[in-house]
Amino acid sequence: MYRSTRGSNDILSAAEAIKRGIAADGGLFVPTVMPKIDDKWLAKLVNLDYKERAFEVLGLFLTDYSEEELKNCIVAAYTTEKFDDAAIAPVAAIDHNTFVLELWHGPTSAFKDMALQILPHLMSKALRKTQEDSEIVILTATSGDTGKAALEGFANVDQIKIIVFYPEEGVSPIQRLQMITQQGGNVSVVAVRGNFDDTQTGVKDIFNDPFFNENLAANGFQLSSANSINWGRLAPQIVYYFSAYADLLAKGCLQLGEAVNFVVPTGNFGNLLAGYYAKTMGLPIGKLICASNSNNVLTEFLNQGIYNKLRTFHKTLSPSMDILISSNLERLLYHITNADTVQIKNWMEELNCSGQYCVDERYLESIKDIFWADWVDDVETVEKITEVFKKYQYVADPHTAVAWQVGERYRQQTGDMALQVIVSTASPFKFNESVLDAIRDSKDSNINDEFSMLYELSQVSGWPVPPALAALEKAPVCHSIVCDKEEMSLVIKDILEKNKS
């Protein structure tokens, strides 16, 4: 069962929580009880494939879904037609105690596929299980990867419409092309003038606008979310931490019970939070290492206990991490404070009114026991891409490079040489210009259009271009709406009225 981080008395089933996306009081849904696993349970994952591992993990959280319902969702999501590696989330060995967990083998070449290929199936089942008659309108703010993955997952799904908002100048050219060429009778894409935080705040304001939601309900619509604020997005991300550990056991790289450190490039905190849930359940994780770019609000918080969004916003080479308001941090605070919903509500009000809040020393110590954090600027990011390619012939995208550098810094500063897994969140081909500049010998190339760079990157790296990215060259543009943050609700109303007519 699930409840809000901000204290409303509603206790909901998993299906109801997934359908709603966000709680009525503005909080996020969290499990009322955290499932626990032991070594025997963990050991049985070793001989299972990814789909079977997903069934074991998700079955602990989505207990109102029948075995058949859950298996059907998983089988439909993780197919070799959609993922170009049969392992779904393979673990690549770099050296004897450094590995890369590759989460970008899905249809949109980003880690968001790991959850957004299954969420539409979970959502459809939830609508039937809760006997919902309304049409669900998925509102999603994206810093680049979530948007395309959500559009791909929800395209042409019955009883669901999806509207994706992205910052007009805040995504890579490939990310933008992926979104505006998405086909489907139920999908819409809107650019917002501003940065990701403007976009995300606009979506949150719409969710929390009772008049707007009442008006939608009167017309047969109900809002939900495909961002990681939705429990149905977050729960599937827990799976790949367990799967990576099981793969390392299967390869004989560690002993059962031996602790592993995960380094996670982090913006909205959902990916890292999934690792926290895995650790809380009993997965042997030593440290969860938070890697940020120049938008280092999480580094400051995890090290000092001060969350301050009032800082300069930086557009970086790792745009999916260009975020100053990390929504999922609220869930961590709920667990760290032992479900002190009054305190969490006060902190969120402080953040909204003054732009910052500060946690007590006792909570900060609990956080530091679990997390370690640092950040990397663009110069270091490019240097790391170059170094990794020259040393290992491995091609890292900018987000992965940020994590790689922070992981090495953690080892240098702490002396902890435990087995380390770098969580790789995007294909390098999604950021072809910055990666190509970092690894090619000649810096004077005249090639600067997106698709020529894709093929040059393939030639230089020896890695194949993901077919879905190559196909964008000839894909027709389907969406071209642009608006200000204040106009987002009007755009939604207009889209739904046109769609209905």
Catalytic residues: 112
CA angle 135, 113, 133 (to 5 degrees): 10
Tokens 């059962």 belong to residue: 256
| Helix, coil or strand: residue 404 | helix
Dist CA 60 CA 72 (whole Å): 16
- What phi, psi does 148 have (nearest 5°)? -65, -40
Contacts 24+ apart (CB under 8 A), 439-443: 439/385, 439/386, 439/389, 439/395
Torsion of CA 53, 55, 60, 65, to 10 degrees: 170
Q: Which residues contact 332 (CB under 8 A, 6 or more apart)?
A: 269, 273, 276, 367
Q: Is 37 exposed, middle or buried (0-12, 13-18, 19+ CB in 10 A)?
A: middle
Give the largest CA-CA distance in the chain: 64
Task: For residue 32, give the nearest of 72, 77, 67, 63 by alpha carbon.
Answer: 63
- Token output for 89: 């989330």
Check: CB of residue 75 under 8 Å from CB of residue 95: no
Token representation of residue 353 = 């009114």
Residue 281 near residue 34 (C-beta atoms within 8 A): yes
**Residue 472 per-residue DSSP state:** G
Sign of CA dihedral 77, 27, 281, 307: positive
